[in-house]
Structure 1
Amino acid sequence: KIFLRGANVAALSQDLAGITTESANSCIEQALEANLNLIRVKGHVTHPSFYDAADQAGMLVWQDMPLTGGYHRSVREQAMRQARELVDNFGHHPSIIVWCGHDSPDPIDTTRSAPSLIEQQKPTWARSVLDESIRRSLRRQDPSRPAIASSGTLPSLPRPQESNSHLWFGWHQGRAQDLATYLDQQPWAGKFVSAFGSYSVPEDLKINSEQWPIFDFSKLDIEDENVLDTLLKVFPPEMFSDFESWSAATRGQQAYLLKTQIEILRRRKYRPGGGFTFDSLFDPRYETTSGVIDQRGNFKPAYNAVSTACAETIIIADPFFDLIANEQRVATNVTAIHDGREPIEQALVTARLTIEDETHINKWEGNIEADAAKHIGRIEYAIPRDVESVNLILELESEEATAYNQYTYTK
């Protein structure tokens, strides 16, 4: 059993022939440095050198069929043939652990953070016929690996165990921390989350904004109009003084969202969560993307946030900022997540909660089991009305591992 910490990747290059062994190795190395153990090749098939590099590095691969969105009914026979050819050409790679028939077969509703379960129960030709046909072809050609019909599906018949949700809290609608409330109410929607995240503008992108907040949106070089509309809704330009502060806000929010939601998902390890792939490691097709690495290969702030949140051992607190604003109190559970195969003996966990100038210290000591999420303790304090800042620092110390985390609230 293994908890999967992964990322989606688009094509390594717009020119498939231009992908080299070096660029494939670089992708795998960047994923490993971010403490990931899974890459989802989203909606395409990449260069053979990528799979060779994954085999050598021990990186696990989720392989999609090259199908995204809607298709005409005439595509079914061709898709089934491509499924068989996909297995024939790449099935010998031990890095590939799962096949997926169709990425996002349903239209994307940007007014919802999560898809409608009722709508997904209704049969459609794409899900009920095309995707099931592809799944059968994949299973017949390769009975040794799991094959799922499509991505972006909530638990539903006929195979609720194959759920892999796309959850866009903090991007399509709501806030990043709303994911925790949703999963408390719909825990099986978090069994595996195969897409979540937000878009951000790269720091190197410069735009003439003399008439700010009016500027040429086409210069953002973004995937499509729906994504642009969402970006402008989440980050209204008129709320910022200039382009630089606006673009910095998109990068800061991306880092905060991924850190927050990865921690939420890891806290639910095996209850029932089995892992995730966030969107995305990088996408070289455009300037403004969901990638934590930009088109030029520069790391955005979200890359370091992901690397920290995906470390083998982390110490986290449940989201608590709303309680400060609404109820004048801090109330949060502290959890240690350890993905290592050996237990941690005699770990010391220290929590330092600073409210304005006053610091409260809590300490716990004990063992942390291998491959487990362990509840450490609870912190609860009253907060004065109109408090300006609250800072929580968590530290885990032991001979086997160390971890550090920090949460800062400002009014």
Structure 2
Amino acid sequence: LDWDALRDHHGLEVDVMQQRFPPADHPTFASWRTATQRYQASLLRQQIETLRRLKYRPTGGFCFSWLADPAPMISASVLDHERRPKLAWAAVVEACRPVIVVTDPLPVTVTAGDRLELDVHVVSDLRVAVVDASISVTCTWRGGRRDWAYRGDIAADACTKVATLELTVPDGPGELLLGLALAGRDEDGERVEYARRSGARITPR
């Protein structure tokens, strides 16, 4: 790649990209581009979910410094110059749903035997309560799984702590996957549903 041209004509922050995503780690440009976009998607989703958990204390919302590109660029936008979505667009849409279930972010890697404690919150921007909501949490790994279930009302326009998950990271290589789901109806009878998945790579002690 002509890094100088990408910097001069397309706004690429070469030093930052080479430090965080060394091109030598990727066999093709497409692989490198996908890695950068996945990182952006994960980062934005975690940041937005964290801000929403700080509902009114002190967060009242957020805005983008760069929503869409004005020309062909390599930038922090979530839409390119033709308004085609990057991978982060879907992550932002999911993080901005009226009702979300979130946990403390999982690290990229976890070590076998480590003890995890993850707070579970429901954030609702609805102006009416969600009645008799069911929340399920599923953690799976190679050869095992663990489930948690909760039930109750979700207050209108509030962030509600549901529980703290406690889990010892299992032995064995592979992925530790965490699934969250919510189902219920608001006081007006409208169906409210949400689902989210995240994961971490297990490393041996």
Query: What is the TM-score normalised by the length of structure 2?
Result: 0.87
Aligned partner (choices 312, 332, 338) of residue 118 of structure 2: 332
Residue aligning to 1:358: 144
Given that residues 133 and 184 in structure 2 are in contact (C-alpha distance below 8 angstroms), is that contact kept between their aligned partners in structure 1? Answer: yes
Aligned partner (choices 311, 332, 349) of residue 97 of structure 2: 311
Distance 1:326 1:335 in 2: 26
Letter in 2 for 1:405: R
Letter in 2 for 1:260: Q
Distance 1:323 1:241 in 2: 23
Gaps of 5+ in 2: 187-191
The structure where helix makes up a greater share of residues is: 1
Q: Which has the higher contact order (CA 8 A, sep 6+)?
A: 2
- Secondary structure of residue in 1 paired with 2:10: coil
Given that residues 106 and 199 in structure 2 are in contact (C-alpha distance below 8 angstroms), is that contact kept between their aligned partners in structure 1? Answer: no
Aligned-residue offset at 1:334: 0.8
Aligned-residue offset at 1:243: 1.4
Residue aligning to 2:10: 222
- Secondary structure of residue in 2 paired with 1:324: strand
The answer to whether residue 85 in structure 2 is matched with residue 299 in structure 1 is yes
Letter in 2 for 1:274: G
Structure 1 pair 301–294 and aligned structure 2 pair: CA distance change class (3 A): same
Aligned-residue offset at 1:349: 0.5
Structure 1 pair 385–278 and aligned structure 2 pair: CA distance change class (3 A): farther
Residue aligning to 2:189: none
Distance 1:275 1:228 in 2: 31
Residue aligning to 1:378: 164
The structure where strand makes up a greater share of residues is: 2
- Secondary structure of residue in 2 paired with 1:259: helix
Distance 1:347 1:325 in 2: 33
Gaps of 5+ in 1: 1-214
Distance 1:266 1:229 in 2: 32
Structure 1 pair 264–327 and aligned structure 2 pair: CA distance change class (3 A): farther
The answer to whether residue 198 in structure 2 is matched with residue 410 in structure 1 is no
Given that residues 320 and 331 in structure 1 are in contact (C-alpha distance below 8 angstroms), is that contact kept between their aligned partners in structure 2? Answer: no
| Rg larger for | 1
Distance 1:231 1:384 in 2: 34
Query: Number of aligned pairs?
Result: 195
Given that residues 142 and 172 in structure 2 are in contact (C-alpha distance below 8 angstroms), is that contact kept between their aligned partners in structure 1? Answer: no
Residue aligning to 2:177: 391
Letter in 1 for 2:45: K
Given that residues 41 and 92 in structure 2 are in contact (C-alpha distance below 8 angstroms), is that contact kept between their aligned partners in structure 1? Answer: yes
Letter in 1 for 2:138: R
Letter in 1 for 2:164: R
Structure 1 stretches (4+) deviating beyond 4 angstroms? none
Aligned-residue offset at 1:387: 3.7
Given that residues 314 and 338 in structure 1 are in contact (C-alpha distance below 8 angstroms), is that contact kept between their aligned partners in structure 2? Answer: yes
Distance 1:336 1:387 in 2: 31
Distance 1:330 1:354 in 2: 14
Distance 1:302 1:233 in 2: 21
Distance 1:267 1:410 in 2: 25
Given that residues 110 and 201 in structure 2 are in contact (C-alpha distance below 8 angstroms), is that contact kept between their aligned partners in structure 1? Answer: no
Residue aligning to 2:40: 254
